[in-house]
Amino acid sequence: MGEPLRIGMVGAGKISGAYLNTFEKLENVRLTAVTDLDADRAKAAADRVPGAEVVGSVAELVARPDVDAVLNLTIPAVHAEVARAALAAGKHVYGEKPLTADRADADVLLSTAEADGLRIGCAPDTVLGTGVQTARKAVDDGLIGTPVAATAFMTTAGHERWHPDPEFYYRPGGGPLLDMGPYYLSALIHLLGPVVKVTGASSRPRAEREIGSGPRAGERFTVDVPTHVTGVLEHANGVLSTLVMSFDIQAARLPRIEVYGTAGSLSVPDPNNFDGTVDLFRAGGEWETLPVSAGYVDAGRGAGLADMADAIEAGRPHRASAEVARHVLDVMLTLLDSAAEGRSLNTHSTCERPEPVKH
């Protein structure tokens, strides 16, 4: 292995802690700089990593010679802005999901990176863990026969119950689909390939929400996006996936993801986690738990960044790619467009299924 990829982190909010935990275990990436609008948060993050320094601004961070790649952990509304600044400075980018808030920004980022020989990676990288990858190997090995359908359900009463500053989840770029959909759609693409057509419906039952925890508990704020989205996705291989993403369900006993084939069914663990139990039902038999057979073991947030660092050195495509993230974004936006227009719509993009992570 060569020198570690040197990382400048933009944004030191709640999700940054998960990345910092992973950095402690990785040899091929090293955090060198941190910036945040809150200087105290930036300092707290930098203090966790020996040698990391606090930087006053994004412009200063992307200009540093000891930053090879920018880890973009900002809110969705500024994902594209930070990524553009990083690419303009000749830096690779790895960001939290969604890639951007609209297709045009995503297309510009990808074309810029390709022209300049730079990489863009994007969460979620949970799909590279043992849960989804073991399930993918079962599908690829034909254990359920030919896939014919799938379901994906994310149901919760809303993030304002636990998040102290939840408004951005209910602004453009947020909502259950754009917030949590990337986990489920990325998993479906790894399992079944890209989507060619969607049929959607959506609703916004409440115009206001109330913050449930933290110093602002009891404050109310407006809701600007659909908070219950459902739809049917037609994959290029003909599989039909049914999707429900909701901030309006108090409790449910639905599975996270299931894949149904001509010879059996597969129960896939929560795609917001890296691991979990994969259960297989073979026609005429009983449910059985499959042993771990693929995926990065004991992975955490940042596994996709480490995979990108390894891919840069090896000259191979990285798995948590901007191409997948752009397609996921397109599927989500097309689903919302379909719901608004009341008709089925074709997606605007496609992507290759990433290479599996072998065990």
- H or E segment at 197? strand 195-203
The secondary structure of residue 255, as a DSSP letter, is -
How many whole angstroms separate alpha carbon 147 and alpha carbon 244? 20
Cα(120)–Cα(83) distance, integer angstroms: 9
Residues 94 and 73: beta-carbon distance below 8 Å: no
Q: Which of 103, 133, 142, 108 minimizes the C-alpha distance to 320?
A: 133
Q: Is 279 helix (H, G, I), strand (E, B) or coil?
A: strand
Residue 36 CA to residue 40 CA, distance in Å, equals 8
**Residue of 47, 136, 92 lying closest to 307 (CA atoms):** 92
Side-chain-side CA neighbours of 244 within 13 Å: the count stands at 15
According to DSSP, residue 129 is labeled B
Give catalytic residues, as residue numbers: 97
Q: First and final CA of the chain: distance in angstroms?
A: 20
Name the maximum alpha-carbon separation found in the chain.
63
Q: Quickly count: other Cβ atoms within 10 Å of residue 324's Cβ.
A: 26
Query: Are the CB atoms for 53 and 33 separated by under 8 Å?
Result: yes
Total count of residues recorded for the chain: 359
Helix (H, G, I), strand (E, B) or coil at 38: coil
